[in-house]
């Protein structure tokens, strides 16, 4: 389903609407490689427990001026040469992302990678910047479960028995990451950070003081 079929006219500001985002890229260097796709899904946190809002989701493939033809990379994310050439114009895709995002806070697993790629694309294509704070669910999971050996998203999905329909596909990964947030919620509430996004970010920041 294309992004224009999923866009629902997100509110300008809603502190109870959190967005879990995932990207696909032409490589693993966020400072140099190209943004290929963005996907995300909203999580509402204004009730007794959070829930995922599938109708409030986003997905777009960005058209590439030169398709990334690295075969191992294509096999990983599944965005082949034809899909890259048939994607949305980057400026159109990024404006759609900004419209969907509104002023909602953003979360991702290893968020620095996603944030860097999106910020670079916004700067290069639109001259825009992304002031919203990001929260890193990888850091949050480690803080909430310091006893756990898990490190990768696959590790955490296995720990909580979360099924991802297609790993390394942005929409599926975003949905699985949103489900991870829901599974972390009881421990998050126990730490007193179950509602406010700023409290969640402060808790995740404690990861820097933990042993590797």
Lowest mean pLDDT among 12-16, 182-186, 187-191, 203-207: 12-16
Domain 3-209 has CATH 3.30.420.10: yes
Say how many C-beta atoms besides its own lie within 10 A of residue 211's C-beta. 4
Q: Which residues have C-beta within 8 Å of that of residue 164, sequence separation ≥ 6?
A: 157, 172, 173, 175, 176
Determine the average pLDDT of the residues in 156-169: 93
pLDDT digits (tens, 9 = 90+) for 3-47: 443 445 545 578 899 999 999 998 889 999 989 999 999 999 988
Q: CA torsion sign, 33 to 90 to 101 to 44?
A: negative
pLDDT score at 75: 40
End-to-end Cα separation, the chain, in angstroms: 40
pLDDT number for residue 210 = 54
In terms of DSSP bridges, do strands 17-25 and 106-108 run parallel, antiparallel, or are they unpaired? parallel
Q: Which residue has the tokens 């860097």?
A: 116
pTM for this entry? 0.87
pLDDT tens for each residue of 70-89: 544 544 545 656 767 768 99
């Amino acid at each position: 389903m294309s992004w224009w079929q999923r866009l629902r006219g997100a509110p300008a500001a809603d502190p109870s609407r959190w967005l879990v985002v995932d990207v696909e890229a032409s490589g693993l260097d966020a400072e140099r490689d190209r943004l290929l796709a963005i996907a995300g899904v909203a999580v509402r946190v204004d009730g007794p427990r959070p829930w995922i809002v599938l109708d409030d989701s986003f997905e777009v493939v960005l058209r590439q001026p030169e398709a990334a033809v690295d075969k191992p990379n294509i096999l990983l994310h599944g965005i082949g040469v034809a899909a890259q050439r048939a994607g949305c114009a980057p400026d159109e895709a990024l404006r759609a992302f900004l419209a969907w995002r509104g002023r909602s806070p953003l979360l991702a697993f290893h968020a620095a990678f996603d944030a860097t790629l999106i910020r670079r694309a916004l700067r290069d294509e639109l001259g825009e910047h992304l002031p919203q704070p990001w929260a890193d669910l990888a850091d949050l999971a480690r803080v909430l479960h310091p006893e756990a050996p898990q490190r990768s998203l696959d590790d955490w999905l296995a720990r909580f028995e979360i099924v991802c329909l297609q790993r390394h596909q942005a929409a599926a990964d975003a949905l699985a990451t949103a489900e991870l947030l829901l599974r972390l919620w009881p421990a998050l509430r126990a730490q007193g950070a179950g509602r406010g996004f700023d409290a969640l970010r402060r808790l995740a920041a404690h990861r820097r003081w933990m042993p590797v």
